[in-house]
Structure 1
Amino acid sequence: MYTTIQKWGNSQAVRLPKAILELAKIQEKDRVELKVENGSIIIRPVKKHKSLKERIAEHNGDYECSEWDTGKPAGKEVW
C-alpha cells in the first residue's frame, strides 16, 4: 500500500489507512513509538498497561501452581 507525505501545519504527515491500523491493532488515540532503523521509519504501538481489574476479568481460573526442574547445580549451590 502506498501513500503520500503531506504538509500539516509546520510539520509533515502521513495518513494511515484503516486496514493498516486494524492489522497493527492500533486505534485512534493509542500511543505509538516512532523510530528510524536503517533509513526506515518504524511505528510501533506502545504496550498498554492493564489494570488489576482488567487482569482479573481475563482470568479463567485454569492456572495451577506447580514445581519445575531448573536442572543440575552449576556452582556451589549444594553443600
Structure 2
Amino acid sequence: MYTTIQKWGNSQAVRLPKAILERASLKENDKVEIRVQDGNLLIIPVKKHITLKERIAEYHTDSQCGEWDTGKPTGKEVF
C-alpha cells in the first residue's frame, strides 16, 4: 500500500488507512513509538501495562476449581 507525506500545520503527516490500523490492532489515540532503523521508519505500538485489578476485572471463566488426589507419597516428601 502506498501513501503520501503531506503538510499538517508546521509538521508533515502520513495518513494510516483503517485496514492497516486493524491489521496492526491499533486505533485512534493509541500510543506508538516511531524509530528509524536502517533508513526505514518503524511505527511500534506502545504496550499499555495494566494493573492487577484491571486484569482481574477482565478475567472471565466458567471453570470450577477443586481439589484433586495425587496419590500416596512415593519418596521422602515432607508433611
Q: Which runs of 5+ in 1 are unaligned?
A: 63-79
Aligned length: 63
Specify the alignment match of 1:2 in structure 2: 2
State which structure, 1 or 2, has the greater radius of gyration over its C-alpha atoms. Answer: 2
1:7-22 to 2 correspondence within 5 Å?
Answer: 7-22=7-22
Cα distance in 1 for residues equivalent to 2:2 and 2:16: 10
Aligned-residue Cα RMSD (Å) equals 2.0
Identical aligned residues as a percent: 68
The TM-score with structure 1 as length reference comes to 0.70
Tell whether 2:60 aligns with 1:41. Answer: no
Alpha-carbon distance between aligned partners in 2 of 1:39 and 1:13, rounded to the nearest angstrom: 18
- Identify the residue that residue 69 of structure 2 maps to in structure 1: none
Give how far 1:49 is off.
1.3
Structure 1, residues 30-68: CA drift from partner, whole Å, max 9, x if none? 100000000000001000111223211344468xxxxxx
Q: Which runs of 5+ in 2 are unaligned?
A: 65-79
TM-score by length of 2: 0.70
